[in-house]
Amino acid sequence: MIKRNEGFICVNCGYKVSPARKTCRNHCPRCFVSLHVDDKIPWDRASVCGWKMYPIDYTIKNWQIKILFKCEKCWKLHWNKAADDDDIAKLPEIVMKYKFML
């Protein structure tokens, strides 16, 4: 399987997202919304769902931020690492916005 690290236009806020520098990106660094594109493993891009995934929680462990996403269609939960260029200062507010909506 080949990792796919591509830029994209955020479906939520319209921001032009560049490919990640160190890993494969799957969420917007501004609004943290992503698409349900991965299926069994991160970066496989094999999901047939394709709906929006929203950040609903996060944790910090060993100096690493992990974000919990929930699909608005199939409700799949998925943890993902924060990217080094994510706007982390906005994360708590954004999580509170979506946590109880889904």
Q: Is residue 75 part of a domain?
A: yes
Residue 18, in any domain of the structure = yes
Q: Say what the pTM is.
A: 0.86
The boundaries of the domain holding residue 25 are 8-99
In a domain, 2, yes or no: no
Per-residue model confidence as pLDDT tens digits over 29-82: 999 999 898 877 766 777 889 899 999 999 999 999 999 999 999 999 989 899
The CA-atom distances, in angstroms, between 91 and each of 10, 53, 58, 82, 95 are: 16, 14, 8, 10, 6
The answer to whether residue 3 is domain-embedded is no
DSSP single-letter state for residue 62: T
Count of domains observed in the chain: 1
